[in-house]
Amino acid sequence: MKTSRVSVRRLAPALWASVACLAFGAAIPAFATIPIFSDVPTLAPVVEKVVPGVVNIAVSGSVEVQNPLFSDPFFRQFLRVPDQPLRRKVQAAGSGVIVDAAHGYVMTNNHVVAVGQDEVIEVTLKDKRHFRAKLIGRDPETDIAVLKIDADHLTEVPFGDSDKLRVGDYALAIGNPFGLGQTVTSGIISALGRTGLGIEGYEDFIQTDAPINPGNSGGALVDLRGQLIGINTAILGPSGGNIGIGFAVPANIAKEIMDDLVKNGDVSRGQIGIRMQDLTPDVAQSLNLETSDGALIVQVTAGSSAAMAGVQPGDLIVAANNNPVHSVADMRRRIDVAHVGDIMSLSIIRDGQPVTAKVAVETLRSARRAAPQQE
């Protein structure tokens, strides 16, 4: 008996050759409390406002051919293979969002544009205009990339505040699934702060059941105001198709990354020198804490900025710069988006008493892979 293993997958760009056939079924509309713009409920006015700001992205490049025979000098001579590495061309498709019409900035996923070497990126707008795009910068850790096109009369999708999202809020996913062209689907916010999926170095995903499929990577997740709340990135499915579990990078994180990429071309991350763990109810009870929210410090690196600020193992971080910290993921995000040299104000509970510590963000000194919870 054959079995299928459910796996979390990035929304890999839809390869042109991969679309062999499509099966279309009857669409069943789902009606709920949605804007009423006439005598019937409809999302059309929201969609009409947003879709001009969502673009199709086509990428071509080349990758080195990996074949053990080509590494053997005898076979290379026998087969008369040239000395230089053999390369083959690849083509892929994805989606993007115009986030700054004045400067022509388009946001997408890093994995959409990272198809190999000699990449040529073409952006197609809703009005069928085509533009060669310049890669401004990319951040593999969050899977965000920023492109620039030289075009006028662009429509941008305004940023919403993803920190204000609630589970149950309605959402629309717009993108270019399977290279079909612009497609709109609807759903709700299913969960917030999803981590531990193992697809990015930094994870704090919005989960949605709005249908997302390969080719939607880099597309927009918007609310019913037509504001950008996320960049569609990954799905959970047995075979790479939609089963109602999709993930998006929150818009607030994406915007912070974009600002760094536009300004510096890359993202410089920092650390404060602590190792943390989530506060479970059992740990909270053992420490006589009345809350199960926060990030519990289990180690402070000697000589780090946290150590110099008086932070101690056993301290519970409940807020950073007056923003609530509910978990290690929350605190990781606060550190990751901070700039080296910034001062973070940590609200701490120590022995049942509130304490404030001012900690400077230092240059990241060690790879996070060696210590996943060290920040």
Question: What positions carry a catalytic annotation?
Answer: 111, 143, 217
Distance CA 246, CA 349 (A): 36
DSSP string for residues in 153-201: S--PPPB--GGG--TT-EEEEEE-GGGS--EEEEEEEEEEEE---SSSS
Question: How far is the CA of 17 from the CAs of 24, 83, 90, 93, 219, in angstroms?
Answer: 19, 29, 10, 11, 21
Residues 130, 57: contact at Cβ < 8 Å? Answer: no
Distance CA 128, CA 121 (A): 16
Residues 298, 277: contact at Cβ < 8 Å? Answer: yes
CA-CA-CA-CA torsion sign (27, 30, 36, 38): positive
Classify residue 370 by its DSSP letter: G
Number of residues that this document lists for the chain:
375
